[in-house]
Amino acid sequence: MCGIFFSLSTNAAEPNPETKALLIQRGPDSCQTHTVSRQIRTHDGVSAPVTLYLTFLSTVLSLRGDHVFKQPLVDSASQSVLCWNGEAWKIDQERVSGNDTELVFDRLLRAGSGTAQQASENLAEVISSISGPFAFVFYDARHGRVFFSRDCLGRRSLLQGVDNDGSLKICSLCDGSSSTRFQEVGFDGVYMIDLDDYQVSVPGSTEPCRIHTLPWTNTSPTSTGHLRNPIPPMNATVPEEQPPALEIETPFVQDLQLRLLDSLALRIEDIPEPPNYIHGQSAKVAVLFSGGLDCTLLARLAHDVIPLDEPIDLLNVAFENPRVAAAAVAAAVKTKHGAAAVASTEPVSAYEACPDRMTGRSAHAELQMTCPGRPWRFIAIDVPYTETIAHRASVKRLMRPHNTEMDLSIACALYFASRGQGTITHPTSVPISYSTTARVLLSGLGADELFAGYGRHGVAFTRGGFPDLISEIQLDVGRLGQRNLGRDDRVLSHWGRETRFPFLDEDFVAWVLQAPVWQKCGFGLSAPRSETNAERLRGIDNEKMALRLVALRLGLSTVAREKKRAIQFGARTAKMEKGRTKGTDALD
């Protein structure tokens, strides 16, 4: 995980101190700045040439290779520069071992040979060959061009904006307090600025230069300079007759388990030891853990990859919500006929009463039962209301330009969960303070979108059958980068940890999207053919049914039957002060 800042201006603009500090939070292992200048001709042919300054700043969280690879990377021969925030898990379908940044830089430099047009076409080939999440800024000094992009799913944050002086800025975070001048870089292609076309802008202008796009395409392009999109269109086939019921040992369910395990292994094998690591005591991997189906499935599969003596930390967050507490007291008073009766009852922890805390403890117990040799560490992260208020401005700063009540509710939960500070309880001891050493976090994000896990998917099927269900899934997958991933990356990375998404591996996503929709969820299927299968599937919801069957295969019977619950309601970050706010309401 890295932090990126780039500016293109006539006065060598650097990030403001607050932004630089936040970038260092993302990448505490290294921080360097590099500035180059380039003279450009004015378009009137009369005025004197103008000097442009290209400022690059990168911070690094080192998670690949045997030492810290400092950025920005600068080629001494050409003076080309790369700021890379990503994980190239594979290049040309070959697994990358060791550090990926230098390998990507070398390929980009070799792509720059030939004419400017050839260089752009070659760069498109290089980017198309990379499998993994990324955001980058690359300066091709030979041809005077700047390229920047997010991957085709938008799994890493990258924002662009223009400041009051007309300087173009590209950054992992909003630079400054204003969210109005920054927007998320799209994930529909690689963007290119030709410095020879740069127009010296008037201060306050929002368009200092033309930005060209090298788009992703799912078809064989008729012209060069396109990127091959690894994510195919969704299989929109509608069954001609009612599909049969899903069963635990169907080939699709078996294959699903193996493919998810492959995706996970790619992300948790060969993780370097974090600072202050003690073998057998410290964790390299932690799971953002609500106790729901998706995260528990990842934890269970991680058990099959990580050496048995290494702990796996389960980060479970719960919030003190004054509105919920007040409503509970009011209900108790009404039921018990008086405040005295309420005072005499046994107090219940606001945190232990959170839905995600209850499912988390239940899932933790099931993991201990199914994988008894593993040190499973349940980290209870309790967040008092006063602490939520104290950090709220920081959370809002990180999630910009997102600015709704729902954004804040989700971001708060992710912010405190990824901090990784809570308590652990041994069977014979009182809770003790604990901070996870893990720098790699696992998230189940993407499972609901791919496998029809939201309530609205059932509504869509009821409304219009398989065609409407397919359309709803297509909508969800297509907007992941816009709605979730950039915001989540900015918030989760704040504590110097990298979140990895096994459900969003390109090969895995492509395979799931190509499968018929009725193999992924239980809507519209026939009844089980045998009484034995019917009994095994009792209580299994239609949403994400294929994943639920994988959980059953792995012995997670209770987890397989857990209901979908949004994080803001499970952790109780939603509607802390007022009960009538809507998730889409803009923040003050």
* pLDDT tens per residue across span 78-98: 999 999 999 999 999 999 988
Report the sign of the C-alpha dihedral through residues 410, 172, 134, 63, in that order: negative
DSSP per-residue string spanning 544-570: THHHHHHHHHTT-TTGGGPPP--HHHH
Predicted local distance difference test score (pLDDT) of residue 347: 54
Q: Does residue 173 sit in helix, strand or coil?
A: coil
Tokens of residue 523, six digits = 């809507």
Other residues' Cβ atoms within 10 Å of the Cβ of residue 340: 9
CATH of the structural domain 251-336+345-571, one choice from 3.40.50.620, 1.20.1290.10, 3.90.1300.10, 3.40.50.720:
3.40.50.620
Determine whether 521 is an active site residue.
no
- The greatest distance separating any two alpha carbons of the chain, rounded to the nearest whole angstrom, comes to 88
pLDDT > 90: what percent of the chain?
Answer: 73
State the Rg of the chain over Cα.
25
Report the sign of the C-alpha dihedral through residues 463, 467, 471, 473, in that order: positive
Nearest to 195 by CA among 146, 124, 160: 146
Q: What is the pLDDT of residues 229-282, one digit of tens each?
A: 999 999 999 999 999 999 999 999 999 999 999 999 999 999 999 998 999 899
Residues 6+ apart with CB under 8 A from 422: 315, 316, 317, 379, 380, 381, 382, 433, 434
Do 2-228 and 251-336+345-571 agree at the fold level?
Answer: no
CA 462, 509, 259 angle in degrees (round to 5)? 110
Nearest to 573 by CA among 352, 424, 407, 443: 407
Predicted local distance difference test score (pLDDT) of residue 346: 46
- Domain extent listing, the chain: 2-228, 251-336+345-571
Say which amino acid occupies 316.
N
CATH of the structural domain 2-228, one choice from 3.40.50.10860, 2.40.50.100, 3.40.640.10, 3.60.20.10:
3.60.20.10
Say which amino acid occupies 54.
L
Q: Which of 2, 209, 371, 521 is catalytic?
A: 2
Predicted local distance difference test score (pLDDT) of residue 338: 55
First to last CA, the chain: 31
Tokens 């992941």 correspond to what residue?
A: 480
Predicted local distance difference test score (pLDDT) of residue 187: 93
Tokens of residue 370, six digits = 């199914």
Report residue 9: phi and psi, to 5°: -160, 180
Is the Cβ–Cβ distance between 40 and 196 less than 8 Å?
yes
How far is the CA of 334 from the CAs of 329, 339, 350, 578, in angstroms? 9, 9, 20, 21
Low-confidence stretches of the chain (pLDDT < 70) are: 42-47, 177-180, 199-208, 220-225, 329, 331-333, 335-348, 427-428, 579
Other residues' Cβ atoms within 10 Å of the Cβ of residue 475: 12
DSSP per-residue string spanning 313-369: EEEEEEE--HHHHHHHHHHHHHHHTSHHHHHHSPP--TTTTSHHHHHHHHHHHHHHH
Predicted local distance difference test score (pLDDT) of residue 344: 47
Q: Report the distance separating Cα 290 and Cα 31, nearest Å.
A: 34
